[in-house]
Copies of this chain bind each other. A is one copy, B any other.
Amino acid sequence: MVSVIGYYTTRFGELWDKSLYDLVAESIRGVLQETKLSAKQIDAVFIGNMLAGVLENNLHSTSKVAEILDTHIPVFRAEAACASGGMAFHLGTKYLEANAGKTVLVLGAEKMTDYSPEETTTALIGAASGEEQGAGLTFPGLYALMAQVYLQKYGYSRDVLSYVSYKNHYHGSLNDKAHFQKKITLEQARKSAVVAAPLGVMDCSPISDGAAALILTADQPLSRKNKSIRVLSSEVASDAISLKNRAYIDGIEATKIAADKAFDKARITRSQVGVAEVHDCFTIAELFAMEGLGFWKRGEAGKRITALDTMLGSGGKLIINTSGGLKAAGHPVGATGIKQVGEIYLQLTGQAGKRQVEKAHYGLAHNVGGSGGTAVISIFKTL
């Protein structure tokens, strides 16, 4: 059995004075300090990063991490676009299943704000197919296409999307590591300038810098039992990179496939989950997530979200994106999947402070790559 025994995240945001490896080093120092482990007690490292190659000609990050740790242990880099962090986490759990008694460091990092918006946007669309890139599509454009189909098919107006933004910004206001820590009104979300119809500025996650790190162990006596959670399952599903080659685009099928497997393996029901971090790169993506994960039925999310019972303080039984989600906590791509697991870790160990969810024993993290070509879903339990 694999356990998460510690977590540290840097502030997410526009961190002009920090380089990628400043952030990586801070997250490593932070998580080692938190768990009182030394670098010598780590057996392997997994790092999720998407863009350092393209943006700063910085590949072989594995060796750079070894240099920071001053170690000869194996270091692996996972890349699957915005699911890079989730994939690093997943591979870390598999590694531990094959290596009982070991301890691994799993981290994710991204530095996105040292470049022009054009450079960063162009690099990001590297996660889509060549044909989609050639057609001039950007990420807001891809999700806008999907949103159009969804809203038209089920008869919703663009307004329903605002509830996701409103809720997640409220959660972000309670998270001192979030990129945006400011509440917004439903009206502000609704009236934000259109980026790619039907998506407005307030429907889009930001370009952020940040790094996050976790410590995982397998079959170890846990000295920090009250600060540990169990990984019940971690599953990955893929889909075609091109929207045109998907079974449907008013949702993300990879999420559904990975979720079915993950719940099966965890042997729990959807209703047992009390807290989840889901991939809201755009507001529409949170609706897709809630349906794909099986929390809500297909086509129903546009209505269900307006009840706002996934918001802290609502009294709802399933609270979503307490970190602020990608929307408000920020989306330093490679770090996102790690932060999601970290937020669930904080919630299930009662360390979430002002945004603590009551009585949650099971949590879930859901990370998506690109427009849905990759989904990673992990389910956790308190000890």
Interface stretch, picked from A3-11, A165-173, A235-243, A323-331, is A235-243
- Chain A interface size range: 35 or more
Kindly state whether residue A130 has any CB partner on chain B within 8 Å: yes
Task: With CB as the reference atom, state the residue of chain B lying closest to A62.
Answer: B80
State whether A78 touches B77 (Cβ < 8 A): yes
Task: With CB as the reference atom, state the residue of chain B lying closest to A87.
Answer: B76
Kindly state whether residue A210 has any CB partner on chain B within 8 Å: no
Kindly state whether residue A35 has any CB partner on chain B within 8 Å: no
Task: With CB as the reference atom, state the residue of chain B lying closest to A49.
Answer: B79
Kindly state whether residue A245 has any CB partner on chain B within 8 Å: yes
Q: How far is the CB of A301 from chain B (nearest CB, A)?
A: 22
Instruction: State which of B56, B67, B127 has its C-beta within 8 Å of the C-beta of A240.
Output: B67
With a CB–CB cut-off of 8 A, which chain B residues contact A138?
none
A63 CA to B128 CA, complexed, in Å? 9
Kindly state whether residue A157 has any CB partner on chain B within 8 Å: no
Kindly state whether residue A101 has any CB partner on chain B within 8 Å: no
Q: Which of A178-237 contact B (CB under 8 A)?
A: 235-237
With a CB–CB cut-off of 8 A, which chain B residues contact A254?
72
A304 CA to B10 CA, complexed, in Å? 52
With A66-B373, A80-B62, A98-B98: A238-B74 Cβ-Cβ less than 8 Å:
yes
Encode A355-383 as 1/0 by CB contact (under 8 A) with B.
Answer: 00000000000000110011000000000
With a CB–CB cut-off of 8 A, which chain B residues contact A76?
78, 80, 87, 91, 236
A192 CA to B28 CA, complexed, in Å? 47
Instruction: State which of B73, B98, B373 has its C-beta within 8 Å of the C-beta of A60.
Output: B373
Q: How far is the CB of A116 from chain B (nearest CB, A)?
A: 15
Main secondary structure of the interface of A (DSSP, over half): mixed
State whether B373 touches A237 (Cβ < 8 A): no
Task: With CB as the reference atom, state the residue of chain B lying closest to A240.
Answer: B67
With a CB–CB cut-off of 8 A, which chain B residues contact A97?
97-99
Instruction: State which of B64, B128, B238 has its C-beta within 8 Å of the C-beta of A71.
Output: B238
Q: How far is the CB of A84 from chain B (nearest CB, A)?
A: 9
With a CB–CB cut-off of 8 A, which chain B residues contact A81?
59-60, 63
State whether A72 touches B373 (Cβ < 8 A): no
Q: Which of A36-76 contact B (CB under 8 A)?
A: 50-51, 53-54, 56-67, 70-76
Kindly state whether residue A95 has any CB partner on chain B within 8 Å: yes
Interface stretch, picked from A118-126, A272-280, A339-347, is A118-126
A247 CA to B56 CA, complexed, in Å? 27
Which residues of chain A have a CB within 8 Å of any CB of chain B?
50-51, 53-54, 56-67, 70-81, 87, 90-91, 94-95, 97-99, 122-123, 125-130, 133, 235-242, 245, 253-254, 257, 369-370, 373-374
